[in-house]
Amino acid sequence: MTELESVIGLEIHAELKTDTKIFCGCKNSFGAEPNSQICPVCMGLPGTLPRLNSKVCDFAVKMGHALNCEINRVSRMDRKNYFYPDLPKAYQISQADIPICGKGFLEILVDGNVRRIGITRIHIEEDAGKLIHDDEYNGTLCDLNRCGVPLIEIVTEPDIRSSEEAHIFLENIRSILRYIGISDCKMQEGSIRCDVNVSMREKGAPLGTRCELKNVNSFSAAVRGIEYEIKRQTSLIENNEQIERETRRWDDKKGISTLMRNKENAQDYRFFPEPDLGAIVLSDERINSLKAEIPELPNKKVIRYITEYGLNYSEAFLIADAPDKAELFEQCIAKGECSPRSAANRIIGEITKYMNDTGKSIAETKLTASELSKLCCAAEKGIISSSSAKTVLTHLIINGGDVAEIIEKLGLEQNSDDDYLCRLADDVISANKKSADDFKNGKTNALGHLVGQAMKLSKGKADPQKIKDIISNKLKMEE
């Protein structure tokens, strides 16, 4: 049978981090008491008129620039007519044929190769409310706080070829949204969600019949959903069965997709121009001004960190993914006192662990790039051991201070004096005859025990590499 390949497209919905909602002055925030952040406009009461939040347009344009999109100087809002049980007016204000951003692309790194994924469009729209199903209630409750929360929808071309590519693309989109400051991207709060379109085809053949997966609530769920759908559709093709164009619900707990509705019978949305809102007209000056606010984006940083500093993809992404980590890394390197590898290891290791454990950002700690650079330099020069470096770093994060003063205060400086280390080696060999004999007899792991005893005897101050070399040389001379 001819080899099949998967063809994947994504529709990513990101809630925008504006102060107020898209068409009214209600507060745009998560976690308030149900139905406490609503007004006649977002409730869709008769006679109300929407007023477009200009910040929503600015945020959409910034994302358009970040994804190399064509920015439409004139666009419009449309009504999408559909039965929304959690959107009282029974239609959604969105954009149809003239979105705010047109064609674009995003370059991602996959297995060391740059892949360009096309962007079809970015449009703005309002979010719907939230239905609450609970066994304690005889029915369904509705929280309308989310009605009118501004969204952008990013629609890709069918350029993605695997679940891995989809995951990398989604991670890059999330990083970019955070970098340009337009969304908090908290998946647990539903502020970034995606729908997945999957089809199968013979390599080089026209596109196959696609199925859409709804209810994908995490990037890992997107991966699992794509892989399931690839297997399901491949099995149908191998058994000469027809793939129907469907919208399917992804059940991540069960690991299966189930039919929601058949696309051929789906109700037409009957888009028409929103009569209560005028055209969106953007000046060249405004478009160019928003473009100037775009920093170096994480996907570009990842490639640079790999090519310039020798990091692997995982390391580069862990640093570039968070703006504060990337800033700390680059400021540290700019000091010129330590290697990029040393700085990267500490940011990826102890610093990230502290941030994950406490939920704090780097800005909420006492750590500075200057002192991190000095710490890395001290560890590289052997002034302190790796374990002592962790102690100093913890002190810097929590209390701040000067690296040299902390090392002196805590008595952490390593002793590299040859005479002292030779005497220490003699004492350790004399007190651990069995381990010494084991090493002489070819049991090389015995050396680790002897070094450990030396470090214990020196209270961690002996230079571990030097004491290891000295003990090893002394024992070899005795053979």
- What DSSP string describes 287-339? HHHHHHT----HHHHHHHHHHHH---HHHHHHHHTSHHHHHHHHHHHHTTSS-
Helix pair 433-440, 464-478: axis angle to 10 deg: 70
Count helices and strands (H / E) in the chain: 17, 15
Q: At 279, is the secondary structure helix, strand, or coil?
A: coil
pTM of the complete model: 0.84
Summarize the chain as % helix, strand, coil (round to 5).
45, 20, 35
Strands 272-273 and 78-81: antiparallel
- Segment holding 216, helix H or strand E: strand 211-216
Q: What is the pLDDT of residue 417?
A: 67
Strands 4-15 and 256-262: unpaired
- CB-CB contact of 311 with 340 (8 Å): yes
- CB-CB contact of 362 with 353 (8 Å): no
Strands 113-126 and 130-133: unpaired
- CB-CB contact of 75 with 99 (8 Å): yes
Amino acid making up residue 369: A
Question: For residue 42, which of 122, 150, 123 has the smallest C-alpha distance?
Answer: 150
Amino acid making up residue 320: A
Write down the residue that tokens 């994947």 correspond to. Answer: 8
Q: What is the pLDDT of residue 164?
A: 96
| Measured distance CA(104)–CA(319) in Å, rounded | 26
Q: What is the pLDDT of residue 401?
A: 94
DSSP-derived letter for residue 239 is: T
- CB-CB contact of 352 with 318 (8 Å): yes
Render pLDDT for 94-147 as a digit per residue (tens, 0 to 9).
Answer: 999 999 999 999 999 998 899 999 999 999 999 999 988 877 778 888 999 999
- Segment holding 92, helix H or strand E: strand 91-94
Residuewise pLDDT in 10s, the chain (479 residues): 578 999 999 999 999 999 999 999 999 999 999 999 999 999 889 999 999 999 999 999 999 999 999 999 999 999 999 877 788 888 999 999 999 999 999 999 998 899 999 999 999 999 999 988 877 778 888 999 999 999 999 999 999 999 999 999 999 999 999 999 999 998 888 899 999 999 999 988 999 999 999 878 899 999 999 999 999 999 999 999 999 999 999 999 999 999 988 765 555 788 999 999 999 999 999 999 999 999 999 999 999 999 999 999 999 999 999 999 999 999 999 998 899 999 999 999 999 999 999 989 999 999 999 999 999 999 998 888 888 899 999 999 999 999 999 998 988 887 666 787 788 888 888 899 888 888 888 787 888 888 888 888 887 777 777 888 888 888 877 76
| Measured distance CA(98)–CA(114) in Å, rounded | 30
Buried b / exposed e along 326-363 (16+ C-beta atoms within 10 A): bebbbebbebebbebebbbbbbbeebbebbeeeeeebe
- Which tokens in the block code for residue 187? 């998946």
Handedness of CA 236, 237, 240, 244 (dihedral sign): positive
Handedness of CA 68, 69, 74, 75 (dihedral sign): negative
Q: What does the longest C-alpha to C-alpha distance in the chain come to? A: 98
